[in-house]
Amino acid sequence: MASLKEVRNRIASVKSTQQITSAMKMVAASKLRKAQTGILQLRPFAQKQQQLLQNLSAGADVALPGGLSEKRTTNRILFVVLSSNRGLCGAFNSNVIKQANIESRAIIAANQGAEITMITIGRKASEYFAKSSFNRAESHDDIYDELTYGRAAQLADHLIDLFTKKLYDKIYIVYHQFKNAVVQYLVTEQFLPVEPITSEEESGAQLEYIFDPSRDEILESIVPRILRTQLYKALLDSWASEQGARMTAMSQATDNAQELLKELKLTYNKARQAAITNEILEIVSGAEALKNN
């Protein structure tokens, strides 16, 4: 059995850890409320924008400006992987990295000779793919330091530029889609080329638009804006998911520390009782020895 001093040191250490995890839980909960408000407010707007884009580009004869709907041979694929800058958020980072690896290997298996390139957002993904077999072209780890629509728009314009210059044939975004503090869904979303809805996917109630100015001019103006919003939504989803995952992980860690404290206190009381019993036995034995002398 461990000595009383060792058990006391362990109890003090666990209490200190519990205070840290409890504080981190509260910080994550505070950040989560802000992030959750942002994504829940943006999501309906982004969905309506996406629906509008699909309706405007419906039909095989409609080509988006700049070749943004151009289908090419799948040779050069770009993955934008969204992770976090810090750990202590459970399996959040490992899951998104695993998803990117699975999707990449599936594309390579389906298209022999396909080249996979990574753009990472978040230091955890950047550190991993810097050592992996896949080429990491860029990292934008500082975007979470000040996550704004303006910064997301700059990155979206950069991705659009890479696609229109035909440096990549397809661009995917791998991220966590936020549902609540406990549940986050892994999503691999095709960013470019834009996939118009087909006649089979169109609803029974067809939407007819009167274009002023022309459809091409409207699409040329609206498509980049929609893509910027879609990337911003993905970033907000990932940010909210990270805070939810961290809050859940720190809550579990705090509960585990509490259970460990109970066990340690029980061990301490048993060790203390055994020590007192030994002292009593020594005193009694000494008294008996004096009496016999």
Whether residue 196 is preceded by a cis peptide bond, meaning omega within 30 degrees of 0, is no
* The two structure tokens encoding residue 27: 């910080």
Catalytic residue among 24, 53, 56, 89: 89
Q: In whole angstroms, give the CA distance from residue 118 to residue 133.
A: 11
Contact in structure between 25 and 254 (CB atoms under 8 Å): yes
Q: In whole angstroms, give the CA distance from residue 16 to residue 3.
A: 20
Termini Cα distance of the chain: 35
Q: In whole angstroms, give the CA distance from residue 239 to residue 84.
A: 8
Q: In whole angstroms, give the CA distance from residue 288 to residue 283.
A: 9
Contact in structure between 89 and 181 (CB atoms under 8 Å): no
Identify the H or E element spanning 116. strand 115-121
Q: Beta strand pairing status for 115-121 and 170-178?
A: unpaired
Three-state SS at 177: strand
Active site includes 89?
Answer: yes
Provide the edge-to-edge strand list for the sheet that holds 135-139: 135-139, 115-121, 76-82, 170-178, 184-192
Residue holding tokens 């859940």? Answer: 248
* The two structure tokens encoding residue 247: 């809050």
* The two structure tokens encoding residue 123: 């230091």
Indicate which residues carry an active-site annotation: 89
